[in-house]
Structures are given as C-alpha cells and as structure tokens.
C-alpha cells in the first residue's frame, strides 16, 4: 500500500511521532469513539516502512472496534504500533525504556480517548512502565493494580470458539481431531495445551525452536513454518501474526475449519468468500480472540470478578454460532456475517460523548 492509501482511512484519529535518537516511529490510530473511549493493545515490531506500520495500525484499530461491538463491550477500537528500528530482540534495555516512555507521553496527550494494553512484543511489565507516565493503560501487573496478562483468557475464548466451530462443522468434539497451531506464544501455547487435553492430535509450528521443543514434550508433532498452510488438518489455528490467509491460500488450504487468535487473519477481502465456497468454516478472529478484551475491560472498567469474565468468555461459542447462522441464512462469508452481527449489536446504542 502507498502512503496516500494508508492515509485514506475512515477512522477518527491518527497520532504519529518519530524519534530520531532511536529511529522509532510511533503510531496511535483511534478507529471509533462512537460507543466510548477507544482501546487496543500496543504492538512493537520492525516494519518494512512507516507506511506499512500506519496501514497495520489502522487495520488493527478497525478490528478492535468490531471486537468491542460484537462482544457488547462499551468501548471503541484503537491500536498503537511502535515501528522499531530493528527486531525487538535486538533493542537494548535502555533504548526500550526510552521508547516506552515516549509512547506513554503520546498516549497521555490523547487524554483518555485511547487506552492501551499488551499486544505482540509488549507485556504486563511494559504496561507497568507505561503506567509510570500515563493512567490510560490496561493489563498492568496484578500487584500494580492491573488485571495482568490477558493471554490465558484469550486462549480460553479461542478454545470455546474451536469447540463451537467443530460442532457446527459436523466434526463433533475435539477428541481425535487434528489441530494445527501456528505460533506457540502466550496465547498459542495455552491453546495447544487445552486442545491436547481435550484429546486432539496436535501439529505445531513456530519460528522459535525452544517453543517447538516445549510442545514436543507433551506429544505435539512439529510442522515447518513454511509448510503450515499446506499441511492437512481438521482445524487450523493461526496464533502468530495476521495476514496468513489470502485468497490464493484460501483456494487450497487443506483444513475443515480455521479458528485462531491472530488479529486480521484474512489478508484480503476475497479470502473469506473463497473459504465459504470451499466449505472451510472460518471463525472470524475479532469474535474468537475477544477473551483478552473481556479480561481487560471486564476487570478494569466494568468491575467484573473472575467468574463473570469467564461467563462472558464462554459466550464466545454462542456468538460464533449466531455468526454461522447469519452466514448460512444470508449466503455471505462468516467474516461479513460477523460484521453484520457487530452492527446489529451496536445499532440500537446511543452515541456517547467522549
Ligand atoms: P506472542 O508474541 O506471545 O506469540 C507469537 C508466537 O508466534 C511466538 O512464539 C513467535 O515465535 C511465533 N511466530 C511468529 N512468527 C511466526 C511464523 N511466521 N510462523 C510460526 N510462528 C511464528 O503473541 P500472543 O500474545 O500469543 O498473540 C498471538 C496473536 O494473537 C497475535 O496476532 C495477537 O495480536 C493476537 N491476540 C493476542 C491477544 C492476547 O491476549 N495476547 C489478544 C487478542 C489477540
Ligand atoms: C486485542 O484484543 O487485540 C488487544 O489489543 C488487547 C486489548 C483488548 C482490550 C483493551 C486493550 C487491549
């Protein structure tokens, strides 16, 4: 995408700042403030260009709006991207601390229109550091007054989504099914454990060999990262980065269903329709991975206890079943159906002043 197209975005607000000292570009994109202040995590990554980072922030912020809406959470969507000068593992501690403190200043300047939280390459410990400068932070450590990591509850939600999808697709329960997990990080690691405990046969892939060794210890079989979308399985679970399934991959993906955590799994608009035409049941990511948002917004905004959060996460399976029913009734892709459900769930709400 060129910079003109990345700027032709229909969200509400973009903040950018460049730090010449570290070579870091900071982007915050607020997609929607219609139903409350916006929220979404901070992603730190090394991008090919600032334009790629800007585009990613916009797409991720849009997904947060859909996630909040379909989950009946009273916030809008936003996201931060910290475009690093090098891969995260090559950034030293002093540089990282400077980056976090500048990012916190940026967030604070938005006066609460945008609340951040953890995402890829940022942790609860990083949220604690942001919290030294700004209050607009979810997911600080529990001993610093936050809700802590959302990863386990995100994985629980994806697991609920997987069970509901297997049932709807006529595959029964997970016992004996082959589940392929891409990315054994904070979410994918928990998800692989839960699926294995439910009797699934686990195939796993990660670019980090230590994570593969960890999974082999409980019986998972490794698949090369390059082979992941060509490997036959019942359920493919993308839990690494987004954009894994474009329309070309959708035309040959050898799976019966796709249920993962990765935000923006589909790389283009056509991919969802291609999957539907091939009878591959796609569980839209902004529905499946809402467990993290229930955890953070539930505990820190709505005052829910752990049981209430767990009840809402169990509801992800029912929301997905509704999405599948809309998709069948209206003859549209499940991605389109989930957007329809998100719109229906918010249409009746009044706009709020932020
Ligand atoms: P993570 O960084 O802890 O884990 C990602 C894993 O993917 C790592 O183990 C990494 O080595 C691996 N990976 C990276 N590129 C890969 C590739 N090409 N092939 C195979 N493996 C690869 O991140 P996470 O917190 O587990 O999040 C995973 C995804 O879920 C992200 O897209 C994130 O946006 C999304 N998500 C996470 C949460 C949450 O609560 N953590 C909530 C909603 C959505
Ligand atoms: C996500 O769910 O993709 C996130 O970015 C996590 C999150 C959820 C809600 C508020 C802040 C961060």
pLDDT of residue 90: 97
Q: Are residues 156 and 189 in the same domain?
A: yes
- What is the Cα–Cα distance from 41 to 339, expressed in whole angstroms? 21
Q: Are residues 157 and 180 in the same domain?
A: yes
Q: Are residues 29 and 106 in the same domain?
A: yes
- What is the Cα–Cα distance from 158 to 201, expressed in whole angstroms? 17
Residues 260-288 as b or e (16 or more Cβ within 10 Å = b): bbbbbbbbeeebbbbbbeeebbbbbbbbb
Tens-digit pLDDT profile for residues 267-308 = 998 999 999 999 999 999 999 999 999 999 999 999 999 999
Would 164 be classed as within a structural domain?
A: yes
Q: What is the CATH number of the domain that holds 160?
A: 3.40.50.720
**How many A from CA of 172 to the centre of ligand 2?**
31
Mean pLDDT of 76-105: 98
Strands 114-115 and 76-83: unpaired
- What is the Cα–Cα distance from 311 to 316, expressed in whole angstroms? 9
> What domain range includes position 275?
151-288+320-341
CA dihedral for 118, 119, 123, 127, sign (positive or negative): negative
Return the SS3 of 291. Answer: helix
Would 314 be classed as within a structural domain?
A: no
Residues tagged active-site: 79
Given the CA of residue 119, which atom of ligand 2 is nearest to it?
5
- What is the Cα–Cα distance from 20 to 41, expressed in whole angstroms? 24
Tens-digit pLDDT profile for residues 246-257 = 999 999 999 999
Tens-digit pLDDT profile for residues 114-153 = 999 999 999 999 999 999 999 999 999 999 999 999 999 9
The token pair that represents 243 in the structure block: 């954009």
Sheet holding 178-182, edge to edge: 221-222, 201-205, 178-182, 235-238, 257-258, 281-282
Would 208 be classed as within a structural domain?
A: yes
How does residue 351 score in pLDDT terms, banded at 50, 70 and 90? confident
To test ligand 1's pocket by mutation, which of 61, 155, 240, 297 has the most ligand atoms within 8 angstroms of CB? 240
Q: Are residues 326 and 177 in the same domain?
A: yes
The token pair that represents 22 in the structure block: 């570290």
How does residue 347 score in pLDDT terms, banded at 50, 70 and 90? confident
Given the CA of residue 41, which atom of ligand 2 is nearest to it?
5
What pTM was computed for the model? Answer: 0.96
Instruction: Count CB atoms within 10 A of the CB of residue 62.
Output: 22
- Contact of 60 with 21, CB cutoff 8 Å: no
For residue 211, the ligand closest to its alpha carbon is 1
Q: Which of 142, 161, 191 is the last residue of a domain?
A: 142
């Amino acid at each position: 995408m060129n910079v003109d197209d990345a700027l032709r975005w229909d969200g509400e607000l973009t903040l950018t700042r460049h730090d010449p000292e570290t070579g870091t570009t900071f982007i915050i994109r607020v997609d929607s403030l219609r139903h409350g202040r916006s929220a979404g995590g901070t992603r730190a990554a090394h991008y090919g260009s600032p334009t790629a980072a800007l585009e990613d922030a916009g797409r991720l912020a849009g997904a947060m709006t859909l996630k909040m809406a379909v989950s009946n959470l009273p916030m809008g969507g936003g996201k931060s991207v910290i475009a690093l000068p090098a891969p995260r593992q090559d950034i030293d501690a002093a540089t990282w601390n400077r980056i976090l403190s500048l990012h916190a200043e940026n967030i604070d300047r938005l006066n609460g229109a945008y609340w951040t939280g953890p995402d890829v390459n940022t942790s609860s410990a990083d949220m604690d550091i942001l919290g030294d400068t700004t209050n607009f932070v979810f997911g600080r450590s529990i001993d610093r007054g936050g809700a802590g990591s959302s990863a386990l509850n995100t994985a629980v939600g994806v697991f609920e989504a997987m069970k509901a999808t297997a049932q709807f697709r006529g595959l029964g329960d997970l016992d004996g099914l082959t589940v392929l997990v891409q990315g054994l990080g904070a979410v994918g690691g928990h998800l692989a454990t839960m699926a294995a405990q439910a009797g699934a046969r686990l195939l796993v892939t990660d670019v980090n060999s230590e994570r593969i060794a960890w999974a082999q210890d409980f019986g998972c079989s490794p698949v090369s990262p390059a082979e992941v979308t060509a490997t036959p399985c019942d359920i493919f679970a993308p839990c690494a980065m987004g954009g894994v399934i474009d329309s070309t991959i959708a035309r040959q993906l050898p799976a019966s269903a796709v249920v993962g955590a990765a935000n923006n799994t589909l790389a283009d608009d056509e991919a969802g329709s291609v999957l539907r035409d091939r009878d591959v049941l796609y569980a839209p990511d902004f529905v499946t991975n809402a467990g993290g948002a229930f955890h953070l917004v539930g505990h820190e905004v709505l005052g829910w206890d752990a049981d209430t959060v767990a009840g809402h996460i169990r509801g992800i399976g029912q929301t997905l079943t509704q999405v599948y029913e809309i998709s069948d009734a209206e003859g549209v892709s499940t991605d389109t159906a989930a957007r329809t459900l998100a719109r229906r769930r918010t249409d009746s709400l009044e706009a709020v002043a932020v």
